[in-house]
Amino acid sequence: MHSAVGGAPIDYRAAGERPPEEKPVLEDQLVAAPAAVLDAATPELLTAFDRLRALLASLEPLQPAAVRELESLHLLVVSELVTRAKDAQRPFFSLQSRNLTLPASHVAALSFVHECRSARAGATSSALKWIPKKLGLSALASALARGDPGPTFKGDRELSAMSRDIERAVSETLIVAGTHAMLPDEATRADFLDTIRPMLEHTPVKFRHETLLAISGYFRAAPDAGGVFRRPLPPVSASWAAFFPKDLTCATWPARSALPFLLVVARQEALASVQGRGSADAAAAVEMADKTSVHVVARLLEADTAGYTLGALQRWAARQAVEGTMGINAQAEEREKQNSANLAKMERMARHAGWEADSYLGALKNDLVADVVAAAGVGIMAGALQCQVHCVLARAIFSAPSSLEGREFVKVVNGVLCAAALAKTDAICAAQAQILKSDVYSGRIHSKYIWH
């Protein structure tokens, strides 16, 4: 037997003279398979769902302490789901990528969505049904309610997509059911459900969460906090019925969805213009503001019957409301301050329901969680009314001459939307937005070319 240079010894014996070869043991066979971990929803999540059921079942409007607790539990539930979904993800090259199942936390969350809808009747149940339906979760929710096993997935992509849809469904359900429970009277509750109905049915699910956050914030704000959608002001649905033209034959849902985002600015400015006068002057000013707002969305619908321009207006205004009072020239450092403010706000909200925010700080990177934090409290109404860009946008649209029709009117509105959106990152557009702001505030807009 001789040694090969740099290798193992060479065996020159015949095959029958050699001892039987031992099969090499692969490295991955030496590693024991990981023990199966029983997946179960955390006690904190189940306790939060139980408390939310009790709050939403209240026959009386929720008081401020209960409202703060509901918002805190809403944030806890969404943060917990986002964290569990991230923990359930497998490595990218994992061999265990078949027959994956939903995390137990998401199964409990979808069951909660189904129970919320089943426990209500009439317009509330009809509104809540659109949330899982548009996300493709209705059949699965019903199957889980019957006790059927949950679905299995062949890969992480399908599992992650389903988990995100469930997280969105839970958050939207809490927005709608929670706002309904906070409103002070049945008339306001009915107006809220009627206002959000076209948004639930037709707004793309990608933008529906922040739209519901914005519109719910408008309704939650009391009149003494700047709210303009509660009594004694007329309902949004009544203004629509009174002023929208009856001869339009196209679908009207784009105009109905966009109307509240113009109405909130128009009513606020109308009330500010008659401050200190009698209730009759205030009612007349609000009626004129409502008429102007309805006519603007009607003109836009006539010019763009597919609703693309109105949809862009709705999405942009909702985003501004959720972001809050970022001004026209918001820069990166201001957004960093906003992130720090959201972090501090999350810690304050956690104390209202007695949970620790430290375990969920990473969840703030998720857009769903960040929007829930930003929209909590009365910040939506303050953001909508104080945000310079939102007000300037609405005033610029209202200031467009009535002679503008068709494509020219659409061009003006799209130009305002585009330039206002770019104003946060582009210096030229920011300067142009400042000029428009001063022109609108001083009433110097006369030309049909608002942007040129």
155 and 230 in a single domain? The answer is: no
294 and 235 in a single domain? The answer is: yes
Task: Say whether 152 sits in a helix, a strand or coil.
Answer: strand
Give the residue among 306, 304, 337, 309 at the shortest CA–CA distance from 323: 337
Which of 182, 201, 228 is the C-terminal boundary of a domain? 182
How high is the pLDDT of residue 178?
Answer: 93
DSSP assigned state of 364? G
Average pLDDT along the chain: 78
Which of 159, 182, 205 is the C-terminal boundary of a domain? 182
Q: For residue 285, what are its two tokens?
A: 């000013």
- Residue keyed to tokens 């009072």: 325
- The radius of gyration of the chain from alpha carbons, rounded to an integer in Å, stands at 28
- What average pLDDT does range 201-229 have in this prediction? 88
304 and 446 in a single domain? The answer is: yes
Whether 414 has a pLDDT exceeding 70, the answer reads yes
201 and 160 in a single domain? The answer is: no
Statement: the pTM of the whole predicted model exceeds 0.85:
no
Higher pLDDT among residues 168 and 374, named by residue: 168
Is 23 within a domain? Answer: no
139 and 259 in a single domain? The answer is: no
- What average pLDDT does range 321-331 have in this prediction? 57
How high is the pLDDT of residue 194?
Answer: 94
Give the residue among 325, 343, 317 at the shortest CA–CA distance from 379: 325
Burial (CB count within 10 angstroms: exposed 0-12, middle 13-18, buried 19+), residue 243: middle
DSSP H or E run through 3 = strand 2-3
Is 18 within a domain? Answer: no
Q: What is the spatial distance between Cα 161 and Cα 177, in angstroms, rounded to a whole number? A: 24
- How many folded domains does the chain comprise? 2
Cis ω on the peptide bond leading into residue 232 (within 30° of 0)? yes
Count CB neighbours of 280 within 10 A.
9
137-153 pLDDT, tens digit per residue, is 999 999 888 888 878 88
How high is the pLDDT of residue 379?
Answer: 52
Q: For residue 15, what are its two tokens?
A: 């095959």
Whether 383 has a pLDDT exceeding 70, the answer reads no
291-305 pLDDT, tens digit per residue, is 888 888 888 888 888
263 and 159 in a single domain? The answer is: no
How high is the pLDDT of residue 16?
Answer: 67
Calculate the alpha carbon distances from 173 to 41, 117, 213, 338 in Å. 19, 9, 11, 26
DSSP state letters, 239-275: HHHHHS-TT--S--HHHHHHHHHHHHHHHHHHHHHTT
157 and 193 in a single domain? The answer is: no
For residue 54, the enclosing domain spans: 39-182
Which of 155, 182, 209 is the C-terminal boundary of a domain? 182
Q: What is the spatial distance between Cα 326 and Cα 311, in angstroms, rounded to a whole number? A: 22
207 and 354 in a single domain? The answer is: yes
Is 15 within a domain? Answer: no
Q: What is the spatial distance between Cα 136 and Cα 173, in angstroms, rounded to a whole number? A: 15
Q: What are the percentages of helix, strand and coil residues in the chain, rounded to 5?
A: 70, 0, 30
Q: Tell me which of 91-95, 187-191, 215-219 is least confident.
A: 91-95
Is 324 within a domain? Answer: yes
Is 4 within a domain? Answer: no
227-250 pLDDT, tens digit per residue, is 888 888 889 999 898 888 887 778
Q: Tell me which of 73-77, 314-318, 341-345 is least confident.
A: 341-345
334 and 434 in a single domain? The answer is: yes
User: Which residue intervals of 304-405 are DSSP H helices?
Assistant: 308-323, 332-353, 367-375, 379-386, 388-399
Higher pLDDT among residues 263 and 321, named by residue: 263
13-45 pLDDT, tens digit per residue, is 766 677 776 665 544 444 443 444 457 888 899
174 and 46 in a single domain? The answer is: yes
Is 277 within a domain? Answer: yes
Contact 233, 287 (CB under 8 A): no
422 — pLDDT class (breaks 50, 70, 90): low
Contacts 24+ apart (CB under 8 A), 256-259: 256/195, 256/198, 257/198, 257/199, 257/202, 257/203, 257/211, 257/310, 257/311, 257/314, 258/297, 258/300, 258/310, 258/311, 258/313, 258/314, 258/317, 259/293, 259/294, 259/297
198 and 234 in a single domain? The answer is: yes
194 and 161 in a single domain? The answer is: no
